[in-house]
Amino acid sequence: MPTYLHKHTASAKYVARFEWEGATFPVPAGHTRELETGANRAQAAADLAAQAAADFTGEQAGLREQARHFIQNDPRPEMKALRSVALLVLDENNLLRAWIEAFKVQTAACTSLADFKTRVAGLPATPARTPAQLLNAMVAKVTDGSAD
Is the distance from CB of 102 to CB of 123 less than 8 angstroms? yes
Report the percent of the chain where pLDDT is more than 90: 24
pTM of the predicted structure, to 2 decimals: 0.52
Asked if pLDDT for residue 7 goes beyond 50, the answer is: no
pLDDT digits (tens, 9 = 90+) for 73-128: 788 888 888 888 999 999 999 999 999 999 999 999 999 999 999 999 999 888 88
Greatest mean pLDDT among 14-23, 104-113, 139-148: 104-113
Q: Which residues contact 141 (CB under 8 A, 6 or more apart)?
A: 83, 84, 87, 88, 147
Neighbours of 18 (CB within 10 A): 21
